[in-house]
Amino acid sequence: MVSRVTDDYRDMAAAGCVAICEPAFWAGFDRSSAQGFHDYFRQISEYEPRRAAKFGLAHFCWLCINPKESENVKLAEEVLAIIPQFVDRPTVLGLGEIGLNKNSRNELKVLEMHIDLAAKHDLLILAHTPHLEDKRKGTQLTISALQNNRRIRPERVIIDHVEEHTIEMVLNAGFWAGMTLYPGTKCTSSRAVDMIETYGAGRLWMNSACDWGDSVPLAIPYAALEMRKRGHSAEQIDGLIYHNPKNFLSQCPKFKLPQS
Amino acid sequence: MTKQEILDLSFLDARHKLIEIAAFLDRVGRAEGGADFRLKAFRAALGELTGTETGLAKKVLLVFSDPTSEPIPAATTKTACGAWPGEKQSSL
A107 occurs within a structural domain = yes
Q: According to the model, what pLDDT value does residue A260 have?
A: 56
B50 occurs within a structural domain = yes
A257 occurs within a structural domain = no
Q: According to the model, what pLDDT value does residue A208 have?
A: 87
Provide mean pLDDT across the span A25-47: 94
B92 occurs within a structural domain = no
B39 occurs within a structural domain = yes
A256 occurs within a structural domain = no
Provide the domain count of chain A.
Answer: 1
Q: What count of other Cβ atoms lies within 10 Å of the Cβ of residue A100? A: 27
Whether residue A134 contacts residue B69, with contact meaning beta carbons closer than 8 Å, is answered with no
Closest chain A CA to residue B63: A133
Closest chain A CA to residue B83: A133
3-class SS of residue A231? coil
- Domain carrying residue B17: 8-64+77-84
Q: What is the DSSP string of A91-109?
A: TEEEEEEEE-SS-BHHHHH
Q: Is the pLDDT of residue B92 over 50?
A: no
Please choose, from the candidates A56, A30, A24, the residue with its C-alpha nearest in 3D space to the C-alpha of residue A43: A24
Provide the domain count of chain B.
Answer: 1
- Domain carrying residue A198: 7-249
Q: According to the model, what pLDDT value does residue B30 have?
A: 96
Q: pLDDT per residue over B1-60, tens digit each?
A: 999 999 999 999 999 999 999 999 999 999 999 999 999 999 999 999 997 788 999 999
**Dihedral angle computed from the Cα positions of residues A103, A111, A179 and B65, in that order, rounded to the nearest 10 degrees:** 10
A13 occurs within a structural domain = yes
Q: Is A109 on the interface with B (CB under 8 A)?
A: no
Are the Cβ atoms of A136 and B62 closer than 8 angstroms? yes
Please choose, from the candidates B54, B53, B87, B82, the residue with its C-alpha nearest in 3D space to the C-alpha of residue B70: B87
Whether residue A100 contacts residue A130, with contact meaning beta carbons closer than 8 Å, is answered with yes
A79 occurs within a structural domain = yes
Please choose, from the candidates A11, A9, A13, A43, the residue with its C-alpha nearest in 3D space to the C-alpha of residue A25: A43
A209 occurs within a structural domain = yes
B60 occurs within a structural domain = yes
A255 occurs within a structural domain = no
B81 neighbourhood in chain A, CB within 8 Å: 132-133
CA of B15: how far to CAs of A46, A190, B7, in Å? 48, 15, 10
Tell me the CB-side half-sphere exposure of residue B4, using CA atoms within 13 A.
Answer: 0
Q: pLDDT per residue over A127-185, tens digit each?
A: 999 999 999 999 999 999 999 999 999 999 999 999 999 999 999 999 999 999 987 77
Q: Is A190 on the interface with B (CB under 8 A)?
A: yes
Provide mean pLDDT across the span A38-53: 96
B71 occurs within a structural domain = no
Q: At A59, which CATH number?
A: 3.20.20.140
Closest chain B CA to residue A66: B78
Separation CA B78–CA A28 (nearest Å): 10
| Band of pLDDT at residue B91, cut at 50, 70 and 90 | very low
B48 occurs within a structural domain = yes
Residue A153 burial (C-beta neighbours within 10 Å; 0-12, 13-18, 19+): middle
Q: List the strands of the sheet with A124-128, edge to edge.
A: A19-22, A58-63, A92-99, A124-128, A157-159, A176-181, A204-208
Q: According to the model, what pLDDT value does residue A4 have?
A: 65
- Higher pLDDT residue, A260 or B33? B33
- Tell me the average pLDDT of chain A: 94
**Dihedral angle computed from the Cα positions of residues A100, A105, A108 and A110, in that order, rounded to the nearest 10 degrees:** -100
